[in-house]
Amino acid sequence: MPTIAELGENASLARTIARLNLATAALVGPGDDSAVVSAPDARFTVTTDTMVEGHDFKLDWSSAYDLGYKAIASNVADVAAMGAKPTSLVVALICRPTTEIEWLESFADGLRDGCLQFAPEAAVVGGDLAIADTTVIAVTAHGDLEGREPVLRSGARVGDVVAVAGTLGKAAAGLALLQSGNADAISAYDELVNFQRRPQPPIASGVVAAKSGATSMLDLSDGLSRDAARIAKASNVTVSLNRRDLQGFEAMLEEAARAIGANAFDWVLDGGEDHSLLATFAAGSTIPREFKPIGEIIARTNHDVLLDMAPVAEGGWDSVRD
Amino acid sequence: MPTIAELGENASLARTIARLNLATAALVGPGDDSAVVSAPDARFTVTTDTMVEGHDFKLDWSSAYDLGYKAIASNVADVAAMGAKPTSLVVALICRPTTEIEWLESFADGLRDGCLQFAPEAAVVGGDLAIADTTVIAVTAHGDLEGREPVLRSGARVGDVVAVAGTLGKAAAGLALLQSGNADAISAYDELVNFQRRPQPPIASGVVAAKSGATSMLDLSDGLSRDAARIAKASNVTVSLNRRDLQGFEAMLEEAARAIGANAFDWVLDGGEDHSLLATFAAGSTIPREFKPIGEIIARTNHDVLLDMAPVAEGGWDSVRD
């Protein structure tokens, strides 16, 4: 199997592009200086994020396919968090020159299947391939607001219900299992490990929340405590969480936590990479069924986030410290 | 001066964002899950590119400011090459955790000044900051076609004039001077060295070419021989270059080439990173004054590119080999 350095840039890219799906919105796809994408309501949303080997993933723990899939999942979650529908992505991959073309093709398969899973009309419309000693994946994702106003972090108001769509702590549990090196536990709780490798964010719920009048929203990439604090700061309010409403998430993780001597509630509160959607809705409004209420917005206190009215330290993931 | 790891992600980003200019098209700027950008003609162009330490730059040779500036210049050139006007960019920076915040602020100053220089209405509207042992800059740039059709690589027709806006070989000359380690030559030809650090692509000429009916266009990032071959392949033609028309570019570099025992014409033919615009125009059409004719399109031969009717080997830069 040839390496990408043996094949060169043009041939490597051609074999990669051939495996991608097509974006409905792509007027010009991969292969020119730029792609051209339609933006029907004369606006587009754009977000960018990186995955760095050794910090965000290990090549021993994630396959090329997993990484492509996760790159799509995590980035379209930032589109969904605006209340937008994902339309297109560009992906820059930096990998070792000794990378076999088969690895690159599997990565492209993961990109394609991630799109087909979460946003079937969206696809990768452009990219870049380069080499270094560290693998880095940089993705930019675009969305269509379909005429709606974007749902920002700054719109939460006192009295709003705080609710979450998707899981809490599953990806962190999967990471802790991998880090434990406990082969029995990794095998017994492979659903959690696979969730870490291939997260399942509730992408369609972003548009649903926007249509239901969500007042603020973001995707939980760095952990509930840290991301809830972002809504609190941007909206100048305090997020008050109820531990009782989080027990269901905790219960699903307790057995795995016991197996490796960890604390399931820490995963629920501080675990990153679930890419679930945290949103606020006006009191008395109809909350979409996929959003589970977990607290309420109260007037600004000295703290961003309270749990059963006690201050929550800002845990979670810091991209330049961890 | 604190490091970014000491400050953490939120504070580091806040100090960076504060130094950027504002994009005219930004409806929602940095700080939320996504930015929102206007796309007046219901389409946008998108391109992505990376700069990797040790492959695309050395921290000893380029300042943080240079890198920010060059990241903008090289990416808006890919917007201009479609005949589009740059509107917005997102920038992911991966650097060492020991990076001082001052370095990051200078990088942001370079981003801002690059925008102000090349596309004053455009700006960085979002980004990401992460850490690794290798510095990587990943940029995605967007453009507005203002109702025009995009200028692709595939539109060159037999009989078209081949023309270039901007310089040929200057950036490669600057790189060779730096690589020579010859301090006297580096000092004597600092204009070339500075062109390598802060390229000056003819961004406005992209829209001018499109309005003048350019049949194909791309930006010269990997060298004339390699990039001309891309037009030849995409358009199923051969690019026939005239050496006499390239002598002016060569002449400007000959003194520097002699100083370090290099060949100026190699820089003109194979040197990358000028980010000049190579375009084709129908025979008999009025070619914009900033485009200098350097050849013509002929019927497909066995070769992509000819120079005075002799085959040109595809030189230039391969992102996964070099």
**pLDDT tens-digit profile of B169-224?**
999 999 999 999 999 999 999 999 999 999 999 999 999 999 999 999 999 999 99
- The mean pLDDT of B69-76, rounded to a whole number, is 98
Q: Say if the Cβ atoms of A82 and B219 lie within 8 Å.
A: no
Neighbours of A38 (CB within 10 A): 18
Please name which of A141, A64, A49 lies closest in space to residue A100, comparing C-alpha atoms: A64
* Domain B6-144 annotated CATH 3.30.1330.10: yes
DSSP B272-294: ----EEEEEE-TTSPPPTTEEEE
**Which percentage of chain A shows pLDDT scores above 70?**
100
CA A88 to chain B, closest CA, distance in angstroms equals 10
| Residue B36 touches chain A, beta carbons under 8 Å | yes
Interface of A with B in 112-141 (CB under 8 A): 125-134, 136, 138, 140-141
Tell me which DSSP letter residue A215 carries: S
| Residue A295 touches chain B, beta carbons under 8 Å | no
Sheet (strand A237-241) strand order: A216-220, A276-281, A161-165, A291-299, A237-241, A305-307, A310-311
Q: Say if the Cβ atoms of A31 and B234 lie within 8 Å.
A: yes
Contact B108, B116 (CB under 8 A): no
Contacts of residue A195, Cβ cutoff 8 Å, sequence gap at least 6 = A167, A170, A171, A173, A174, A274
Residue A316: pLDDT above 90? no
| Residue A257 touches chain B, beta carbons under 8 Å | no
- The mean pLDDT of B247-259, rounded to a whole number, is 98
- The mean pLDDT of A199-215, rounded to a whole number, is 98
- The mean pLDDT of A34-38, rounded to a whole number, is 98
| Residue B220 touches chain A, beta carbons under 8 Å | no
B310-319: per-residue pLDDT in tens?
Answer: 999 877 777 7
* pLDDT score at B320: 80
What dihedral angle (degrees, nearest 10) is formed by the CA atoms of A250, A251, A257, A259? 180
Contacts of residues A179-183 at CB distance under 8 Å and 24 or more positions apart, as own/partner, are: A180/A260, A180/A262, A182/A259, A182/A260
Domain boundaries, chain A: 4-144, 153-311
Nearest beta carbon to residue A133 from set B47, B56, B134: B134
Neighbours of A18 (CB within 10 A): 10
Q: Residue A207: which pLDDT band, with cuts at 50, 70 and 90?
A: very high
| Residue B20 touches chain A, beta carbons under 8 Å | no
Q: Which residues of chain A have a CB within 8 Å of the CB of B7? A: 320
Q: Which residues of chain B have a CB within 8 Å of the CB of A217? A: 33
Q: Residue A317: which pLDDT band, with cuts at 50, 70 and 90?
A: confident
The CATH classification number of A4-144 equals 3.30.1330.10
| Residue B215 touches chain A, beta carbons under 8 Å | no
| Residue B27 touches chain A, beta carbons under 8 Å | yes
Nearest beta carbon to residue A90 from set B46, B94, B234: B46
Q: Say if the Cβ atoms of B34 and A218 lie within 8 Å.
A: no
**Which percentage of chain B shows pLDDT scores above 70?**
100
Q: Which residues of chain B have a CB within 8 Å of the CB of A35? A: 45-47
* pLDDT score at B109: 98
CA dihedral for A7, B316, B158, B275, sign (positive or negative): positive
* Rounded Cα distance, A43 and A84, in Å: 11
Q: Say if the Cβ atoms of A52 and B132 lie within 8 Å.
A: yes
CATH superfamily of domain region B153-311: PurM-like C-terminal domain (3.90.650.10)
What pTM, to 2 d.p., does this model score? 0.96
* pLDDT score at B34: 97
* Rounded Cα distance, A253 and A266, in Å: 10
Contact B196, B320 (CB under 8 A): no
A256-286: per-residue pLDDT in tens?
Answer: 999 999 999 999 999 999 999 999 999 999 9
* pLDDT score at B280: 98
Interface test with A, best of B4, B28, B32 (most A CBs within 10 A): B32
Q: Which residues of chain A have a CB within 8 Å of the CB of B217? A: 33
**Which percentage of chain B shows pLDDT scores above 90?**
96
Exposure string for A133-160, b = 16+ CB within 10 A, e = fewer: ebbbbbbbbbbbbeeeebbbbbbbeeeb
* pLDDT score at B189: 98
CA dihedral for A252, A70, B141, B105, sign (positive or negative): positive
Tell me the three state secondary structure of residue B32.
coil
Angle at A271 between CA A270 and CA A276, to 5 degrees: 110
Tell me which DSSP letter residue A153 carries: G
| Residue A207 touches chain B, beta carbons under 8 Å | no
* Rounded Cα distance, A216 and A159, in Å: 13
| Residue B40 touches chain A, beta carbons under 8 Å | yes
Q: Which residues of chain A have a CB within 8 Å of the CB of B9? A: 318-321
* pLDDT score at A205: 98
Nearest beta carbon to residue B9 from set A79, A141, A320: A320
B27-60: per-residue pLDDT in tens?
Answer: 999 999 999 999 999 999 999 999 999 999 999 9
CA A79 to chain B, closest CA, distance in angstroms equals 6
| Token output for B307 | 């120079």
The residue type of B53 is E
| Residue B160 touches chain A, beta carbons under 8 Å | no
